[in-house]
């Protein structure tokens, strides 16, 4: 039989091969089997189902080794039924902006190729037992019990925690727990399996049942609970490790957590190699490794430190070493060891949390310490209360009322810690080199520091060594918590019908122009904020508003509502005193957020070391019938002289004119500041009433960018405008075709990149 170490090494090699193979397209590739939009007919088995937006979402494992999803108003198709369905195939798309939700990567990592639109069920085959759909019906009855006894957000929380159903989970509550670093409690994982399955196994053993009978019955419960809760990756990992533990108990072998983890990882990857790119897979398995290699050793050393302190006190007081610890000492030991354990897990998970969420909750160390001990109680009350309510409602109501108080306490704790300054730090994405170096240094501090000090003949007590390790680990965390400084770049975000332009000065300053959309709801939450997190941006120095139409400011209003830090909002002088619904909202939110309002007119300049913005329109006397014609228009100039002889000097000039028309553009073209413009934000989304021939030929533009939605109801970009751009020999890019468009400097030359 292979030794445990050999199994672990073999499994690690297997995982590395799978990772390289899937990420370089050699293994686990999800091909587009059918032409996009084509009518298909597939046959397979329903392996999961859930309710989303009052519709049932079915997960179908097809006979051609692919998986698809489809939604229907009907909830009648039972779990594990075999169905034949026809519909139009639609494949998942990647993000259109950096930081956006990558639906393609997410679903493909679960082995799901696409979704069936307009599905029509041709046949359903199911045995009499499957037709009863017992587990689905039971989970719905549990959810109904929670809804009748708890407020909406608490019912969703308890449904997610106990039975893995997230359809009722409130987005704000989920975001709150995510911000304080305890979102993991919302997923069915090792905590649940340990409580339900391990608890049942130990109960049977205490009742005198044999290893075989206890193991067999508890294994059945584990498998049932995994299926019942939706079979998430974290629950499959936990159940798989539990089954290996039971097998070890029955056969009389010693259970090794790392070996169990490695075997489960291999089995899951053999079933679906795409899991290697799934965030839940990485998070669940990496958390166990962090516990084994970092958290347990450090918490054990903390316990030894407390023992040493206790022995010193005993020696000083002349007491016997057999002196028992009093209650205070036991509580103190629990708190300090748990605190170090939580710190170790947080520090060990920092890079992965940063890569997945682009932010790191620094208060999770304390929040987990308070919330996790109560989770088994909440889980027990939730499961027993839900079942009891179906049998005898009064008892179920009392038990679920206790759940209400626990969940409410969780919310209070999360709110309290979320109010701390720096409770959640936006970190952005770090390079692979930075992450590898981080773990090398972390491992050295825990395992190699003592040997280094001995080699240098530095004598240090165990307690001081532990304190040194703790301080170094905390210091090391800033390697991840501090985001890297961005180089100069201009990003035209794909916001649909609207404008949103981010500019990094390359000197630590950040700027934004407009930020609104009439086609994308909650633009700030789903587009701007994810982009900022991805970039590691926690504040904007200057946020320019060309004019207050909704398609230019809706995202800004969202960001102000979320409390995002904006130092200055810059508005045209011509809008000062204007009564406008959007402006009134912005003024009120700016005051609440302590954000300064700056008014600019023609000739005014603001900026920083590398970059400056000059207002070229409007002046104090311009008048117009509509807001578009008074858009604040800016010429941006970026200069960065190379420090070293081999570095190229960088220079770029760009024009941003909001939604101005031809007459305003031609007035700007006659100004002294308007010359040698490299980059043009094509005005008014490519409207035929902007971008005249005279204007396009006067600026010397090398590239135009048009921000517009696909199939714009306004007919943008107009054929006339595109024709004038072609005639002026100005190449152009559209966000509707390219998604986010990034402008950078490469060896002194402007270069455009797109995300699609």
**Spatial contact of 396 and 442, defined as CB atoms under 8 Å apart:** no
Global pTM?
0.91
Dist CA 346 CA 369 (whole Å): 11
296 to 286, 289, 291, 301: CA distances (angstroms): 14, 10, 6, 9
Which of the 8 DSSP states describes residue 254?
P
Dist CA 53 CA 613 (whole Å): 46
Predicted confidence (pLDDT) at residue 645 exceeds the cutoff of 60: no
Q: In the structure, what pLDDT confidence band is assigned to residue 323 with cuts at 50, 70 and 90? A: low
Q: Left if phi > 0, otherwise alpha if psi is -120 to 50, otherwise beta: which for 358?
A: left
Q: Give the sign of the dihedral formed by CA 455, CA 460, CA 461, CA 464.
A: negative
Predicted confidence (pLDDT) at residue 397 exceeds the cutoff of 80: yes
pLDDT for position 21: 57
pLDDT for position 2: 47
**Spatial contact of 518 and 554, defined as CB atoms under 8 Å apart:** yes
463 to 14, 307, 450: CA distances (angstroms): 40, 10, 12
pLDDT for position 10: 61
Percentage of residues in the chain with pLDDT exceeding 70?
94
Sequence-distant (≥ 6) Cβ neighbours of residue 22 within 8 angstroms = 28, 29, 273, 274, 276, 277
Predicted confidence (pLDDT) at residue 26 exceeds the cutoff of 80: no
Q: Specify the higher pLDDT residue, 661 or 16.
A: 661
One fold for both 39-131 and 489-754? Answer: no
pLDDT for position 23: 58
Classify residue 67 by burial, with Cβ atoms within 10 Å: 0-12, 13-18, 19+: buried
**Spatial contact of 233 and 278, defined as CB atoms under 8 Å apart:** yes
Tally the residues of the chain.
Answer: 756
The full set of domain ranges for the chain reads 39-131, 138-289+367-424, 290-362+430-484, 489-754
Q: What is the mean pLDDT of residues 16-21?
A: 61
Q: pLDDT averaged over the chain?
A: 90
Q: Which fold has domain 489-754?
A: Metallo-beta-lactamase; Chain A (3.60.15)
Predicted confidence (pLDDT) at residue 448 exceeds the cutoff of 90: yes
Predicted confidence (pLDDT) at residue 587 exceeds the cutoff of 70: yes
Residue 80 phi, psi dihedral angles, 5° rounding? 75, 5
Does the domain made of 39-131 have the CATH classification 1.10.10? no
Q: In the structure, what pLDDT confidence band is assigned to residue 20 with cuts at 50, 70 and 90? A: low
Dist CA 239 CA 256 (whole Å): 15
Predicted confidence (pLDDT) at residue 445 exceeds the cutoff of 90: yes
Residue 193 phi, psi dihedral angles, 5° rounding? -65, -40
pLDDT for position 27: 52
Dist CA 149 CA 154 (whole Å): 9
Predicted confidence (pLDDT) at residue 9 exceeds the cutoff of 90: no
**Spatial contact of 516 and 501, defined as CB atoms under 8 Å apart:** no
User: Which residue is associated with the tokens 């679920």?
Assistant: 400
pLDDT for position 314: 75
Tokens found for residue 649:
């000097």
Which of the 8 DSSP states describes residue 746?
E
pLDDT for position 331: 86
pLDDT for position 312: 80
Q: In the structure, what pLDDT confidence band is assigned to residue 19 with cuts at 50, 70 and 90? A: low
118 HSE (CA, 13 A, CB side): 7
Span 56-113, pLDDT tens digits: 999 999 977 789 999 999 888 999 999 999 999 999 999 999 999 999 989 988 889 9
The CA-based angle 572-573-578, given to 5 degrees, is 90
Q: In the structure, what pLDDT confidence band is assigned to residue 1 with cuts at 50, 70 and 90? A: very low
Dist CA 155 CA 141 (whole Å): 12
CA 652 to chain centre: 34
């Amino acid at each position: 039989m292979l030794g445990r170490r050999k199994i672990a090494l073999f499994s690690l090699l297997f995982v590395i091969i799978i990772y390289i193979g899937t990420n370089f397209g050699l293994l686990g590739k999800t091909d587009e089997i059918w032409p996009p939009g084509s009518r298909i007919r597939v046959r397979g088995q329903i392996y999961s189902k859930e309710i989303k937006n009052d519709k049932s979402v079915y997960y179908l494992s097809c006979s051609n080794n692919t998986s698809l999803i489809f939604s229907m108003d009907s909830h009648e198709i039972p779990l594990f039924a075999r169905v034949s369905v026809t519909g139009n195939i639609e494949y998942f798309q990647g993000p259109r902006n950096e930081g956006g939700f990558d639906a393609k990567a997410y679903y493909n990592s679960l082995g799901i190729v696409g979704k069936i639109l307009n599905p029509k069920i041709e046949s359903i085959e199911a045995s009499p037992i499957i037709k009863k759909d017992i587990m689905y019906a039971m989970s719905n009855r549990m959810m109904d019990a929670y809804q009748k006894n708890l407020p909406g957000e608490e019912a969703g929380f308890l449904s997610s925690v106990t039975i893995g159903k997230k359809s009722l989970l409130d987005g704000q509550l989920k975001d709150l727990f995510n911000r304080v670093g305890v979102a993991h409690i919302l997923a069915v994982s090792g905590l649940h399996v340990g409580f339900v399955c391990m608890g049942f196994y130990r109960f049977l053993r205490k009742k005198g049942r044999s290893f075989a009978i206890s193991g067999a019955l508890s294994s059945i419960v584990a498998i049932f609970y995994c299926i019942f809760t939706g079979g998430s990756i974290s629950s499959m990992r936990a159940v798989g490790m539990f089954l290996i533990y039971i097998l070890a108990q029955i056969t009389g072998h010693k259970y090794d957590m790392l070996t169990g983890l490695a075997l489960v990882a291999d089995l899951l990857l053999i079933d679906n190699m795409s899991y290697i790119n799934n965030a839940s897979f990485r998070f669940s398995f990496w958390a166990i490794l962090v516990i084994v290699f970092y958290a347990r050793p450090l918490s054990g050393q903390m316990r030894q430190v407390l023992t040493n302190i206790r022995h010193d006190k005993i020696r000083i007081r002349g007491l016997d070493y057999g002196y028992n610890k009093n209650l205070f000492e036991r509580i103190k030991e629990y708190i300090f060891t748990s605190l170090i354990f939580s710190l170790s897990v947080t520090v060990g998970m920092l890079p992965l949390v940063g890569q997945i969420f682009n932010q790191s909750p620094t208060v999770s160390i304390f929040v987990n310490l308070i919330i996790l001990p109560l989770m088994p109680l909440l889980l027990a009350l939730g499961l027993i209360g839900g079942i009891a309510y179906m049998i005898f409602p009064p008892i179920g109501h009392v038990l679920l009322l206790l759940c209400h108080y626990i969940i409410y306490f969780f919310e209070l704790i999360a709110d309290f810690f979320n109010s701390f300054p720096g409770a959640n730090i936006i970190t952005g994405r770090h390079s692979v080199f930075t992450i590898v170096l981080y773990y090398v240094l972390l491992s050295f501090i825990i395992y190699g520091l003592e040997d280094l000090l001995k080699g240098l003949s530095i004598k240090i007590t165990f307690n001081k060594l532990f304190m040194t390790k703790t301080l170094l680990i905390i210091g090391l965390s800033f390697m991840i918590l501090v985001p890297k400084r961005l180089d100069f770049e201009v990003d035209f975000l794909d916001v649909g019908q609207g404008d949103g332009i981010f500019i990094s000065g390359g000197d630590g300053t950040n700027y934004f122009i407009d930020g609104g959309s009439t086609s994308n709801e909650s633009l700030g939450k789903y587009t701007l904020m994810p982009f900022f997190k991805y970039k590691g941006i926690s504040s904007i120095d200057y946020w320019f508003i060309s004019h207050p139409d909704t398609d230019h400011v809706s995202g800004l209003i969202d960001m102000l509502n979320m409390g995002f830090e904006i130092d200055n909002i810059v508005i045209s002088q011509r809008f000062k005193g204007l009564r406008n619904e959007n402006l009134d909202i912005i003024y009120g939110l700016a005051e609440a957020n302590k954000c300064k309002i700056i008014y600019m007119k023609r000739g005014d300049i603001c900026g920083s070391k590398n970059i400056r913005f000059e207002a070229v329109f409007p002046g104090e006397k311009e008048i117009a019938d509509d807001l578009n014609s008074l858009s604040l228009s800016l010429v941006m100039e970026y200069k960065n002289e190379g420090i070293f002889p081999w570095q190229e000097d960088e220079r770029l000039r760009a024009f941003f004119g909001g939604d101005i028309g031809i007459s305003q553009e031609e007035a700007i073209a006659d100004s002294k500041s308007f010359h040698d413009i490299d980059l043009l934000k094509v005005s008014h989304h490519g409207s035929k009433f902007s971008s005249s021939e005279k204007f396009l030929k006067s600026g010397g533009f090398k590239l135009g960018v048009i921000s517009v939605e696909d199939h714009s109801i306004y007919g943008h970009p107009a054929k006339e405008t595109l024709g004038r751009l072609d005639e002026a020999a100005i190449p152009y890019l559209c966000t509707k075709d390219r998604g986010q468009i990034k402008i950078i400097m490469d060896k002194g030359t402007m270069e455009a990149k797109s995300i699609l």
